Structure 1
Amino acid sequence: MCVTGEQNEYGDDSGGGRRRSRWLKIAGGTLAGVLVLGAGGAGWAYWKLNDNIKSVDINSALGDDRPARSEPTPSPSASAEPLPSGALNILVLGSDSRSGKENAELGGGDEDSGARSDTAMVVHIDEGRTEATVVSIPRDTLVTRPSCPLASGGSTAVAYNAMFNSAYSVGGPVCAVKTVESLTNVRMDHYIEIDFAGFAKLVDALGGVTVTTDEDIDDDDSHLKLKAGTHHLDGEQALALARTRHGIGDGSDLGRIGLQQKLVKALLEQIASTNLLTDPTQLYAVADAVTGSLTTDTGLDSLSELMSLGQSLKGLSSDDTKTVMMPVVTAPYDRNRVVADEPEAGELWESLK
Structure 2
Amino acid sequence: MDSLRKKVITKNIPIRPNSQKNTLPALPEKPMRPQDKLTSPSTYRGKNVSKNLFVKKNHKRNKVEFSLFKLIKKLLLLTFSLSLIVLLFVGIFFVYKINILNKEINTNGNSAQEIPILKTLADISSLTSDERIPLKGENSERINILLLGIAGKGKPGGDLTDTIMIASIDTKNKKIALLSLPRDLYASVPDASYSAKINSLYKYGLNNRQDVAPLKKTIESITNLSLNYYLIVNFAGFEKFIDDIGGINVEVQRDIYDPAYPGPNYSYETFELKKGFHKLDGATALKYARERHNDPEGDFGRAKRQQQVIQAAKNKVFSTKTFLNPFTISKLLDTLGENIKTDITLDEINSFIKLTKNLDTQNINNAVVDAWKEDSLLKVSHIFYENTRAFILVPRIGNYAEIQDLAKNIFDLKIIEKRKEEIKNENPSIAIIDNTGDYSTYVKVEKLLKKNLKFENIEKLHLTTDFSSATTNIFDLSSGKKPFSLDELIKKTPATLNNDISSLAIELKEDILKYDILIILSEDLNNIYHYDEDSIEDLQKSEANQEVGRTN
TM range (shorter): 0.5 to 0.7
CA drift of 1:180 comes to: 0.8
Question: Which SS does the other structure have where 1:246 is aligned?
Answer: coil
Which runs of structure 2 are paired with 1:203-242 in the superposition (5 Å)? 203-213=242-252, 214-218=254-258, 219-221=260-262, 223-229=269-275, 231-242=278-289
- 1:166-205 CA distance string (max 9 Å, x none): 1112114112111112222322121111111211110111
Q: Using a 3 Å threshold, how does the CA distance of structure 1 residues 264 and 131 change in structure 2: closer, same or farther?
A: closer
TM-score (norm 1): 0.66
CA drift of 1:92 comes to: 1.4
Question: Which SS does the other structure have where 2:393 is aligned?
Answer: strand
TM-score (norm 2): 0.44
- Matched with 1:322 is 365
- Matched with 1:305 is 348
Residue type matched to 1:310 in 2?
A: I
- 1:194-237 CA distance string (max 9 Å, x none): 11121111011112234453113213325451142455433223
* CA distance in structure 1 between the aligned counterparts of 2:302 and 2:88, rounded to whole angstroms: 39
Which runs of structure 2 are paired with 1:140-151 in the superposition (5 Å)? 140-147=184-191
Which runs of structure 2 are paired with 1:173-252 in the superposition (5 Å)? 173-213=212-252, 214-218=254-258, 219-221=260-262, 223-229=269-275, 231-249=278-296, 252=298
* CA distance in structure 1 between the aligned counterparts of 2:272 and 2:336, rounded to whole angstroms: 27
1:125 aligns with 2:174: no
Which runs of structure 2 are paired with 1:1-353 in the superposition (5 Å)? 40-42=91-93, 43-57=95-109, 83-84=134-135, 85-86=138-139, 87-97=142-152, 99=153, 104=154, 107=155, 109=156, 113-128=157-172, 130-147=174-191, 157-160=192-195, 162-171=196-205, 172-213=211-252, 214-218=254-258, 219-221=260-262, 223-229=269-275, 231-249=278-296, 252-272=298-318, 275-297=321-343, 300=344, 302-318=345-361, 321-326=364-369, 328-333=377-382, 336-342=391-397, 343-351=401-409
* CA distance in structure 2 between the aligned counterparts of 1:187 and 1:331, rounded to whole angstroms: 27
* CA distance in structure 1 between the aligned counterparts of 2:303 and 2:180, rounded to whole angstroms: 9
Aligned length: 273
Question: Which SS does the other structure have where 1:194 is aligned?
Answer: strand
- Matched with 2:55 is none
- 1:127-155 CA distance string (max 9 Å, x none): 547234322111122222222xxxxxxxx
Residue type matched to 2:289 in 1?
A: A
Q: Are 2:291 and 2:302, in contact at CA under 8 Å, matched by a contact in 1?
A: yes
Question: Which SS does the other structure have where 2:225 is aligned?
Answer: coil
CA drift of 1:319 comes to: 7.1
5+ unaligned residues in a row in structure 2: which ranges? Answer: 1-86, 111-129, 206-210, 264-268, 370-375, 384-389, 411-552
Q: Using a 3 Å threshold, how does the CA distance of structure 1 residues 255 and 82 change in structure 2: closer, same or farther?
A: closer
Q: Using a 3 Å threshold, how does the CA distance of structure 1 residues 82 and 202 change in structure 2: closer, same or farther?
A: closer
Q: Using a 3 Å threshold, how does the CA distance of structure 1 residues 89 and 272 change in structure 2: closer, same or farther?
A: closer
CA drift of 1:239 comes to: 1.6
Residue type matched to 2:347 in 1?
A: S
In our comparison, the structure showing a higher alpha carbon Rg is 2
Q: Are 1:205 and 1:285, in contact at CA under 8 Å, matched by a contact in 2?
A: yes
- 1:13-60 CA distance string (max 9 Å, x none): xxxxxxxxxxxxxxxxxxxxxxx98873423233223333141449xx
Q: Are 1:217 and 1:226, in contact at CA under 8 Å, matched by a contact in 2?
A: yes
Q: Using a 3 Å threshold, how does the CA distance of structure 1 residues 158 and 315 change in structure 2: closer, same or farther?
A: farther
Superposition RMSD in Å: 3.3
